[in-house]
Amino acid sequence: MFDKFIYLTESACSLGYTAGFSILSFEIRWYALSYILGILLGQKYINYIIKLNFSKSFITSELIDKFLIWAILGILVGGRIGYITFYNIEYYFNNPFKIFYLWEGGMSFHGGVIGIVISIFLFSAKNNIKFLSLTDLIATAAPIGIFLGRISNFLNGELWGRASEMPWAVKFSKCGGNIYRHPSQLYEAILEGVILFVILYFCITKFKHLENPGKITGLFCIFYALFRIISELYREPDFQIGFILANLTMGMLLSIPLLIIGLYLIGHNKREKI
C-alpha cells in the first residue's frame, strides 16, 4: 500500500526541501504552492464564515482582505525565526546568510503562530477590533493551511515517520534509509488538518461558538496541541536535536504551552464573556 508514492517521494527527497514540479520551464515548489493556496483558500473560507453571521464582532470581509498581507508577513517571519530558534540555532549562527535562504525550507508551525498572533494584535489595535474575535476567525481557517503544508512535507519526502511494519508504511530510501516508515506527514494532515477543520466548523455552525470571542481560538489550541503530540509519537525526531527529556520531541514540548493557553481561554470564556 502507498507503493505508488514511493518513486515520487524518493525523487522529491533527493532534492531536499526544494522539491516541486515544472510548468513550461517555470519551477513551482511544493512549499510555495501550499503557502499560497493555504492563505488564499483560508481568506475565502473566513469570508464565507463571516457571511454566515455567526460572529457578533463586526469584522468585515474588507478587513480580512486588508489583513492578508499582515498574515503573510507574520507567518513567514515568525515561522522562519521559530525554526531557527527552536530547531537549528547553531547552524544558522555559523551560517547567518542562510537565514534568508527560504527556498531551502525550514519553517516552524509554532513560530508561525507567534508571528501571526503579533500581526493580529497590531492589526486589531490599528483597526479598533477585538483581538480574540480576529484570532477566532484565523483559527477557523488555519487547518486548511496545515493540511496543505503536511501534504507538501510528504511530497518533499521530509519530516518522515519512525520505522514501521504497517501495510501503509512508506520507504523514503534516499533520505530516511532503506526501511519502511510511518507516513507521519499524512497522519498530521488528517488530524491537524481535516479532523480539526471539521471540529471547528461543527462548533461554529452547531454551537455558535464565534459569539463568544476566544472560544474557537481555545479549542484550536487544545486540539492542535493534542493532535501534534499524538502525531509526534510516530514521527522521527529532528536529527539535529533528537529526543529531549527521555522520549519527548521538540514538537511535543512546544505544543504544551499551546495546550495551556487553550485551556486558559476556554476556562476564562466560561467565567466571563470576553
- Residue 20 dihedral angles phi and psi, to the nearest 5°: 180, -145
∠ CA 102-193-182, nearest 5°, is: 80
Residue 36's contacts (CB-CB under 8 Å, 6 or more residues apart) are none
Q: What is the dihedral of CA 82, 105, 121, 211, to 10 degrees?
A: -110
Question: Is residue 181 included in any domain, yes or no?
Answer: yes
Q: Please name the residue ranges forming H helices in the chain.
A: 3-15, 30-52, 61-87, 89-94, 109-127, 131-156, 184-188, 196-205, 215-232, 250-271
Residue 70's contacts (CB-CB under 8 Å, 6 or more residues apart) are 119, 120, 122, 123
Condensed to tens digits (0 to 9), the pLDDT of residues 203-259 reads 999 999 999 999 999 999 999 999 999 999 999 998 889 999 888 999 999 999 999
Quick check: pTM over 0.85? yes
Question: Is residue 229 included in any domain, yes or no?
Answer: no
pLDDT at residue 170, rounded to an integer: 94
Q: Report how far residue 180's alpha carbon sits from residue 90's, in angstroms, rounded to the nearest whole number.
A: 31
Question: Is residue 177 included in any domain, yes or no?
Answer: yes
Structural domain range at position 141: 3-192
Question: Is residue 158 included in any domain, yes or no?
Answer: yes
Within its chain, how far is the Cα of 163 from the centroid?
24
Q: Which CA distances in Å does 123 have to 34, 77, 221, 262?
A: 24, 16, 21, 22
Question: Is residue 89 included in any domain, yes or no?
Answer: yes
User: Is the per-residue pLDDT at 273 higher than 90?
Assistant: no
- Once rounded to an integer, what is the mean pLDDT over residues 12-39? 63
Question: Is residue 219 included in any domain, yes or no?
Answer: no
Question: Is residue 228 included in any domain, yes or no?
Answer: no
Task: Label residue 219 exposed, middle or buried (CB < 10 Å: 0-12, 13-18, 19+).
Answer: buried
Question: Is residue 225 included in any domain, yes or no?
Answer: no
Q: Which CA distances in Å does 139 have to 46, 142, 181, 220?
A: 9, 5, 31, 6
Q: How many domains does the chain have?
A: 1
Cell of 40: 488564499
Condensed to tens digits (0 to 9), the pLDDT of residues 33-65 reads 898 899 999 999 999 999 987 666 789 999 999
